[in-house]
Amino acid sequence: MEAMAGVTHARGRGPFYGPLYGPLYGPLYGPLYGLLSSLVCGLLAGCPSEEGAQPASRPASAGTGTPGPAKPPKHYLGMMSLGGTIALTLDAPAPGRVTLRFADSPFGLHGSVVGHYMPDGDGYVVTSLEADAADPPPGHVVSQLGELEVAFRVGDDRLGDDRLGGDRLGDDRLGGDIANLPASALPGAARLAGLIHATSLAALPAMADIAGDYAFVMTHVDRAEGDLSPVHGSNQAAAGQARITADGRLAICRGQDYRDHCTSPDTGEPAPGATLHPADQTRYPGAFELRADGEVAGRVFLSRDGDAWTLFIDQQQSLGGKLDLGAWVLRSARPLRDGALSGNWSCRQPDVSFSVLAGAQLSGAMAGHSLWIDGGTVATGRVPGIVSDLSLNAAFGNFSETRPASVGGLAHVKWFDPPIQPHTELIREQVLMPLGDTHLIYLNEMRRDVDSVVWGACHKM
């Protein structure tokens, strides 16, 4: 298990966005208190069983059936929220199989693994993973392939084979997750879990085509070179809006809608920025390179859904004996309308456990739960009986978790979790970003006293 460094709303600046802002505030998860789940569901538009959520783990035996009709291989390239660039090729080396390649990893991962993808609910799970003999991964990964878990969905629907009764969507986005990935070859190394954001868009778009305003969510962590352990206090999360100009400049406005010459809400310093340049199109087709202060800071992958763009940024920099890692998702800024998120959602996020001595730790697994939204009211199966308020076009509070910042295209939840002791109720925050009508991602604060936050993804049931 990996200890999580304290997560903060960043303050100040680092190599690209740097320390973003002050402490995040998280919940205190003790024994489950509160109302009965049935009462909660009575207040909302009806709740399915929590069993309707995607399972917390996906065993290798999940899924049945045989591969569908032969389809040409389809290539996806993108980033993992835990850090690194990953490539996935569906129906290669044969129909019904998938090849995963670690294209660029801060954890020293490289090579490819091959498995079968099988229907699992309304998505897919990868089974029977084995090393690609022509491009094997490191030995410590090969020895643990039986425990590696990968699941994915394509666009807002499933692949178009007869078993699932759907058509292949024009949407070029692949979303999924990976679990039980070893952080290093060291004995007892932590296992990692996180989201996968990838795209099949291989033609580099013109900069003028992607110019515009974007809502964004991001996390950042410094890791010590060598053992790759997270540097305490470096874990950060932020949300806001950004602008990409026709000449490739990227400007960030944290905790607010974009405006020229915006400043940090708490420090008054000018907003940080970077520039986009075409990446090596042989290695990273369709991607841009991110540069800050003249140095390469990461890669930008793009997905298009109608007139909306989604950008995934894998931020990696080596700075003074540490690795500066960031994961960003940007979505064309559109104000959210009333009821835009209403419905029953099935969600997954990295599993986190807590102890007095170790604080928050990532177990390396993914955990599933449900989220029920009805207008401005939200409930979750993670803490039965707790109902909270959902604020549209809002994000992490700049100065107080009870006063969310106004940010178009995002949504904010204040969770009031039950206290372990009287008068110890704490508030934690969650920020949601819809990626189309049936898919959203989020940053979820887990506990205030240990300042931990995780990425999560949901699809509408």
* Eight-class DSSP state of 37: H
Give the separation between CA 255 and CA 400, rounded to whole angstroms. Answer: 12
pLDDT tens, per residue, the chain with 461 residues: 555 544 445 433 344 444 333 332 333 333 333 333 444 444 444 554 444 444 444 444 344 445 555 678 999 999 999 999 999 999 999 999 999 999 998 888 899 999 999 999 889 999 999 999 999 999 999 999 999 999 999 975 444 433 333 333 346 899 999 999 987 877 777 888 999 999 999 999 999 999 999 999 999 887 777 666 666 666 789 999 999 999 999 999 999 999 999 998 877 888 778 999 999 999 999 999 999 988 899 999 999 988 899 999 999 887 777 778 899 999 999 999 999 999 999 999 999 876 656 566 778 999 999 999 999 999 987 666 788 999 999 999 887 777 899 999 999 999 886 665 566 567 889 999 999 889 999 999 876 555 578 999 999 99
Residues 411-425: tens digit of each pLDDT: 999 988 666 556 656
Three-class secondary structure of residue 24 per DSSP: coil
Residue 51 is predicted with a pLDDT of 44
In the numeric block, the tokens 């932020």 are attached to 238
Residue type, 458: C
pLDDT at 226: 63
Model pLDDT, residue 268: 82
Residues 6+ apart with CB under 8 A from 382: 369
Helix (H, G, I), strand (E, B) or coil at 58: coil
Q: In whole angstroms, what is the distance from residue 236 CA to residue 364 CA? A: 20
pLDDT of residue 64: 43
pLDDT value of residue 128 = 96
Query: Model's pTM, two decimal places?
Result: 0.83
Residue-wise pLDDT for 102-118, tens only, equals: 999 888 889 999 999 99
Question: Please, what are the domains in the chain?
Answer: 72-159+167-200 (2.40.128), 203-333 (2.40.128), 343-460 (2.40.128)
Three-state secondary structure call for residue 145: coil
